Structure 1
Amino acid sequence: MPARTSDIVGRYIYVSVEGVEYRVYYEECGQGVPLFCQHTAGGEGRQWRHLLEDPEVTSKFRVIVPDLPFHGKSLPPSGVPWWEGEYQLTKAFFEEFVVTVSRELGLARPVFMGCSMGGHLAPDLALDRPDDFRAVIGVEAAIHSHGAEGLMSYLDHPDMSNDFRAAQMYGICAPMSPEASRHETAWIYSQGSPPVFKGDLNYYFIEHDLTGVASDIDTSKVAVYVLSGEYDYSAHPELGRALADQIEGSTFVAMPGLGHFPMAENYPLFKQYVMPVLDDVLAKSEDHDGRA
């Protein structure tokens, strides 16, 4: 019998963000409404592999999953001496990166779905770039994640191995998620760069804060969904609900039985929560455009 193959296609695209050219790796699968999926802090696009291979999703959506520069197969830029400074992810760069990649790939007002730091970016994009997206889905999004900034120093410390970081991420999965999937989630973290994980948390812990401004998001321009896993102590469900409560017209989805990495740690359960959201996005797209 021939080997089983995947329909996922991987490519590189060269994009310029804030005056620097980056060679960005992305994977895609499917056709239909563009769906841009963003990985977590210190993670990479492999976290979305189950969604990329789900024909129920890819029959309706063109799913795009990039590795942020410095992550996965997206190497640091070759045109600047990046090693001379400290890597820090800023909200301005993060937003510009997503918008630039979407534009260069010809995505017409895509749906943005991100988890963890990508989840935080969803409402930030809804506030700052409402005309660029038809909907944003914040998986493990919260109004802020202040209070654990002291952990950052431990994530880039010579006495802390990558096994330590992987174990931390294993512990933020739901205890009932399949063990193989929890270990796979941790395995991806065991391969990342410690300074990059710490640098991503500059955005996650410090720069992201929608306190007092979340109510300015206009859901008549961009639909907003917030999905929170029950066992996520990093972006606690109460902070996810607080975010949604401040955004008039948004939708909050509680996800019992899931932790901080729902699309990776237990995709079948995550699918039960996210498919109604994706179907709602399609319905609203058809109502607005007369077509998907």
Structure 2
Amino acid sequence: MLGDREAFAQHLHLVRRVIELIRSSTSASQPTPVALDEVVGRYLAVEVAGWGTCSIYYETAGRGTPLLLLATAGSDTRQYHGLMSDPALTSRFQLIAFDLPWHGKSNPPGGKRNTDYVLNSQTYTDCIAGVIRALNLPEVPVIVGASMAGAVVVEMVARHPHLVRGAVSSQAGPRVANRHTPWLRNPKVNQTLHVPEWTYGLMSPESPKEDRDRVWWGYSQGGFSVYERDIAYYSTCWDITKVEHMFTQNTPPVVLLSGVYDYSVPPDATRELAARIPGSVVREMPELGHFPHAENAPVFATHLLWALDYIQTRVNSTQVNEAML
């Protein structure tokens, strides 16, 4: 890029708006109404090494096999409200979404400053494992995540296979480049405008504009540097070479979903990741982008249900084989 990069970062919202006005038409679908009457929110005390006692906010909906839903960088449980109001899911599964400390309704832990937040593979997986243990679920959950959460669910099946039934990872490659920039934590750049604009173009133009705008709105509300710290994990900590040696024949099944409109993690990158995870499968999502669960929940639900059925089939097959030994 030529010119003043700082000025570009400061006015990214204007660039996007000009492009929107140039477009004469859109193929975006209409949003599906979301009813949140059955979604229940609570707090849970979780001990996390390095962070201490965390009061973690989580929401639940539905009954059945538990699904633990992880939000993307700098975001929170609201990303999953579309899925949590879908009867096709809630009739078969207990959907559980939680906010990481420093995110959404989970405040920084006691004794920690607002700007103390740092995320790495250890704290991230320790926090998720702590939540699973504290929930005391009747069976281990399937974990679901996209973007940085799509990376960490792969880390979870490698580091904590006994806590996970299977993993559905969206928008993850073997590693990530070009997402961490100095403008994400710069007092000269308004984060409430820059961060949501930095992510907006990763979504599919076919997704309902209202839903894409809700993703934008969520990203405009994060605390200073929280998104940047999350992207630091995604860009510098996550690398499949750090955990691939942990995979065994008993590793829980992994399904990798790939929204084709996501230029930051294209399908080729997802297939490259799959080649490093024994037994994993890839499914492309031609209608979706980087935030499939949030930008178009009804369409993503069809892919998610396919992934969950695949995981259940794999689990059943493993149980039959073990019974025959």
| Fold in common (TM above 0.5) | yes
Q: Distance in 2 between matches of 1:118 and 1:71?
A: 14
Cα distance change on mapping 1:11 and 1:135 into 2, 3 Å? same
What secondary structure is seen at the aligned counterpart in 2 of 1:194? coil
Structure 2 spans left out of the alignment, 5+ residues: 1-34, 321-325
2:105 is equivalent to residue 76 of structure 1: no
Structure 1 spans left out of the alignment, 5+ residues: none
Partner residue in 2 for 1:276: 306
- Whether the 8 Å CA contact 1:173–1:261 is kept in 2: the answer is yes
What secondary structure is seen at the aligned counterpart in 2 of 1:146? coil
Partner amino acid, structure 2, of 1:174: S
Partner amino acid, structure 2, of 1:279: D
2:131 is equivalent to residue 115 of structure 1: no
1:171-190 deviations in Å (ceiling 9; x for gaps): 11112211111111101001
Following superposition, the deviation at residue 215 of structure 1 comes to: 6.3
Counterpart mapping for 1:56-95 below 5 A: 56-78=88-110, 80-83=111-114, 86-95=116-125
Partner residue in 2 for 1:159: 188
Equivalent in 18, 31, 50 of residue 63 of structure 2: 31
Q: Distance in 2 between matches of 1:30 and 1:190?
A: 29
Q: Distance in 2 between matches of 1:182 and 1:5?
A: 19
TM-score (ref. length: structure 2): 0.82
Partner residue in 1 for 2:199: 169
Q: Distance in 1 between matches of 2:208 and 2:224?
A: 26
- Whether the 8 Å CA contact 2:74–2:219 is kept in 1: the answer is yes
Cα distance change on mapping 1:171 and 1:266 into 2, 3 Å? same
Q: Distance in 2 between matches of 1:215 and 1:176?
A: 39
Equivalent in 175, 192, 207 of residue 144 of structure 1: 175
What secondary structure is seen at the aligned counterpart in 1 of 2:225? helix
Q: Distance in 2 between matches of 1:95 and 1:65?
A: 15
- Whether the 8 Å CA contact 2:254–2:311 is kept in 1: the answer is no
Equivalent in 210, 214, 220 of residue 190 of structure 1: 220
- Whether the 8 Å CA contact 2:168–2:257 is kept in 1: the answer is yes
Q: Distance in 2 between matches of 1:94 and 1:212?
A: 15
Number of aligned residues? 283
**Is the radius of gyration larger for structure 1 or structure 2?**
2
Following superposition, the deviation at residue 86 of structure 1 comes to: 4.1
- Whether the 8 Å CA contact 1:136–1:224 is kept in 2: the answer is yes
Query: % of aligned pairs identical?
Result: 35
TM-score (ref. length: structure 1): 0.91
The RMSD of aligned alpha carbons is 1.8
Cα distance change on mapping 1:215 and 1:258 into 2, 3 Å? farther
Cα distance change on mapping 1:61 and 1:5 into 2, 3 Å? closer
Following superposition, the deviation at residue 237 of structure 1 comes to: 2.0
What secondary structure is seen at the aligned counterpart in 2 of 1:227? strand
Q: Distance in 2 between matches of 1:184 and 1:43?
A: 11
